[in-house]
Structures are given as structure tokens and as C-alpha cells.
Amino acid sequence: MRYPDTGTTYRMGADARGCGPLIAVPSEAARPLRQQVFERVRAAGQMPRVQVAKELSVSPATVTTLTSELIEMGLVEEVSGPRDTDSGRGRPAVALGVRPDAHLVAGIKLSDREHTAVIVDFAGNLIAGEAIPREPGAMELSGLVDASEELLRRVCAKAGTRPQDLSAVGLGVPGFVDCDGGIVHWSPVLSARHVPLARAASDRLGLPVHIDNDANLVTLAELWFGAGRRLADFAVVTIEHGVGMGVVLNHRIYRGARGLGMELGHTKVQLDGALCRCGQRGCLEAYVADYALVREATTALNWPSRETQSVNDLLESLYDHAKAGNGAARSIFHRAGRYLALGLANVVNLFDPGLIILSGERMRYDYLYANETLEEIKALALNTGRPAPKIEIHAWGDLLWAHGAAALALHEVTESLLGPARELAAQ
């Protein structure tokens, strides 16, 4: 399917060609060989046994044994590949493919303006998607879980399945999220701090629920379905209601020692600066995010109180003014772009990623990444004499974030079925 406003096509559906990272992880020898076989097949979409053996440097007999086990488990099936000869004659080759109906998972993204969800099968194919708008503002935990339950019910109805038929749910929220512990330490969608969201959602839904920061979910979507499938190291910077970042290092998403790393939006760019919604001052987000642009516009353009208009309407008006040549409006975007350039230059200096992807609805506002902004990144980054990292703009809607949540659920289900812990338990 093709997301709006982007040149990248995400192949999800009957013609999908696999999902998940396409490059072997150097440390994958620590993972069970059967899991490696499965993940190679899933990433390729279809793969003959002989190719699996070649890529993993193991004997064909070993691959035959392992794939027989995967077939018996109902996770893999034999499928017809291309015919043996270029003429189209002869017997079709037999390849391996993931059984799409082996498991279904849901991905949910909760935000302060819209909740979205998708149902994805075990091969990564999109089955259904749903979006529910909501009023901005923080909610109690019970209200957020209610919204998750209602959204899951609606997307399952579209998919023609039941929530109890799912194997897992991935759930993303903005803010500071401990993925392993299932705790949201702070989020603009929650009125309390240190909230056990994963446990509360799992208890209500009766399903395993895995949570993560929403910027990490966009990064997972790129790693599993998009431009990051063939890259060992890349960064995704999201600009929406806040500023987030996800980083892939050595083919794996990096979350930090406590699962709270990569908070680019809350790195400090100004001592005692503008107030951020996290409660601190001088954060990058406080100069680049939508509420920062509206704050500047309200002052510089003498706009009336923003209580009477939505943030989206105010941003559209600001953008229209800038396009029409209004100097004050242009200067607001230019200033935000300079702060963004500073943040991105720091990402380059710290991580040296092979690619930086700027993603999110706000990337429609091209003043944020005008040529002078991109040039300023080069000026602020270390001058090593080597080419700067490539920067791509992906202006997708919220459904992509839900796809990242589904990728998280797929990963967790795979680990539970084939991962090291399962192998040890079976011994």
C-alpha cells in the first residue's frame, strides 16, 4: 500500500515481498538456528531451502530438518516459486514462505489528537486499519485503556476477526517509555506519571501487550517495511506534536540501558529557554514542535487567543502566511529550521548514521527542511572531508506508526515461539 505524500511504497498485501531486516545481524549466531531460518524466509517473502542454507552457511540437510520443524509448528509452508527454466516450462520450484494465517497481531498508536490501529498477519501483510480522532489533552489510565479497547474492537471488526484471536498487541504512546518494564514514565496523553500501561492494557484486553515510544515505532516500521530494511545504521527523527527519535545501530533498534534513550526532542538547545511540555526548559521540542510554532505565531503575528482555534488550523494559517510572503511567518519557520539543524547536526556527530529519515505530518511544512536548513546541518556537523549522511523526507500519516507497533508485536510473538528462552525451556 502507498502512504500519502511519499515516494516510498510499502509492500503490504497479497504481493508483499517479506518483512523484517534484510541484512544478517552479526550477532545472530547467539540466536537459535531455527529462528534464523524463519526470519530469513520472512524477510525474503519466499526463499528456496538451498538459498537459506547458502545464506546461513549451513548444510542443506540441516535446513531441511529445521524447516520441517517450522512446517510442523504451522509457521512456514511450501509455496510455488518461479519455474526451473527461463522458458516457463518445467516443474515450478518449491520455496518456503511464512504462513500468513499462523498468527494475527494488532498495532495501536495512541496520540493526543488521533488513535490509529492496524491488524497484520504473521507474514507482515496489512489486513485492516482504523483511525479514531480525539480531543487533545491528557487522560486517566482507565480512559486510555478504554480507548484502546474500543479501537481494537473496531479494527478487528474491519478485519473480520475477534480480539481474542490475536496473538499479541503492540501499543505506542509519545513520551518516556520503558519498553521492557511496560511503564510510561511520562506522556502527554496520560495525566499521571510512572503508569503501568502494558499491564493495565493486557488485563483489559486479555492479550499480551507490548509498549514502546512512538518514535521507536516509526523506526521499527522503517526497519521492517521501509527504507531501513537494507541498512545497518540509521536514524528516524519524527516531528509532529513533539519531536522524537529512533536509532538503529548494528541492525537493532537502540533503547538505552533503561529503555529511555534517544530523546532528541528533550536534549537542551537553550539554557533557561522556552518551556517544554515535559516541564523543563530549553528542549529542542520547545522550538520545533507544533505548539512551539503556534506559540511564536501568537506573539509575532498578534493572533487572538489560541483557545478559539485548533492547533492544526493555526499551523495551516501560519503556513499559508509564510507561502504568501509574510516575513514574520517565514522567520518563525526559519528559526525552527535552524534549531532542527542544530539537533540533526548533533545526531550526525554522535552516531554517524548512514541515513537520517525525517518523518511525520509536520514534514509537509517544507520551510522546516529548506535548502538553507540542510546546508546548516553540514556547517554544524564535524568537517571530516567525507560526505554527510543522506537525509530523506517521509511525510506519512499516523497509520505508519501503528504499523511499527504491529512490527513490535510480530517481533515479540516470534521471540516467544522461537527465541532463546523458548529453546532453553524445551531442553
pLDDT tens track for 92-133: 678 999 999 999 999 999 988 889 999 999 999 999 999 998
Angle at 273 between CA 272 and CA 277, to 5 degrees: 110
In a domain, 160, yes or no: yes
Q: Residue 213, SS3? A: strand
- E strands of 101-233, at which residues? 104-110, 114-121, 126-133, 168-173, 176-178, 183-186, 209-213
320 contact partners, CB below 8 Å, separation of at least 6: none
Q: Which of 74, 99, 124 is the last residue of a domain?
A: 99
Q: Smallest Cα–Cα separation from 400: which of 272, 221, 135, 279? A: 221
Count structural domains, the chain. 3
| For residues 218-223, average pLDDT | 92
In a domain, 22, yes or no: no
* Tens-place pLDDT, residues 299-322: 777 776 555 667 777 888 888 888
Same domain, 379 and 234: yes
Higher pLDDT: 378 or 34? It is: 34
For the chain, what is the mean pLDDT? 86
The Cα–Cα gap between 220 and 400 comes to: 10
CATH number at residue 205: 3.30.420.40
pLDDT > 60? residue 28? no
Same domain, 280 and 175: no
Same domain, 385 and 248: yes
**Long-range pairs, 4-12, Cβ under 8 A, ≥24:** 4/395, 4/396, 4/397, 5/364, 5/395, 5/396, 6/394, 6/395, 6/396, 8/226, 8/227, 8/394, 10/225, 10/226, 10/400, 10/403, 11/225, 12/120, 12/124, 12/125, 12/126, 12/225, 12/403
Q: For residue 112, which phi and psi values (nearest 5 degrees)?
A: -85, 5
Q: Smallest Cα–Cα separation from 353: which of 208, 254, 213? A: 254
C-beta separation of 127 from 82 below 8 A: no
Same domain, 35 and 124: no
Same domain, 114 and 142: yes
| For residues 382-393, average pLDDT | 84
In a domain, 88, yes or no: yes
Identify the band that residue 1 occupies on the pLDDT scale cut at 50, 70 and 90. very low
Q: What is the pLDDT of residue 386?
A: 81
| For residues 328-338, average pLDDT | 88
Q: What is the pLDDT of residue 406?
A: 97
The Cα–Cα gap between 360 and 38 comes to: 32
Same domain, 284 and 307: yes
Same domain, 304 and 213: no
Q: What is the CA radius of gyration of the chain?
A: 23
In a domain, 415, yes or no: yes
pLDDT > 60? residue 14? no
| DSSP 8-state code for residue 275 | B
Distances (CA, A) of 354 to 126, 233, 347: 28, 6, 11
| For residues 132-139, average pLDDT | 85
Virtual torsion, Cα 405, 411, 416, 420, nearest 10 deg = -150
Same domain, 118 and 267: no
In a domain, 14, yes or no: no
Same domain, 376 and 293: yes
The Cα–Cα gap between 427 and 318 comes to: 63
Same domain, 142 and 248: no
Q: Which of 99, 132, 150 is the last residue of a domain?
A: 99
Higher pLDDT: 259 or 269? It is: 269
pLDDT > 60? residue 229? yes
| For residues 289-299, average pLDDT | 85
In a domain, 12, yes or no: no
In a domain, 3, yes or no: no
Same domain, 235 and 106: no
Same domain, 360 and 260: yes
In a domain, 13, yes or no: no
Q: What percent of the chain has pLDDT over 90?
A: 54
Domain span at 195: 102-219+400-425
Q: What is the pLDDT of residue 420?
A: 85
Q: What is the pLDDT of residue 160?
A: 97
Other Cβ atoms within 10 Å of 165 Cβ, number: 13
Find the helix packing angle between 327-351 and 371-380, rounded to 10°.
40
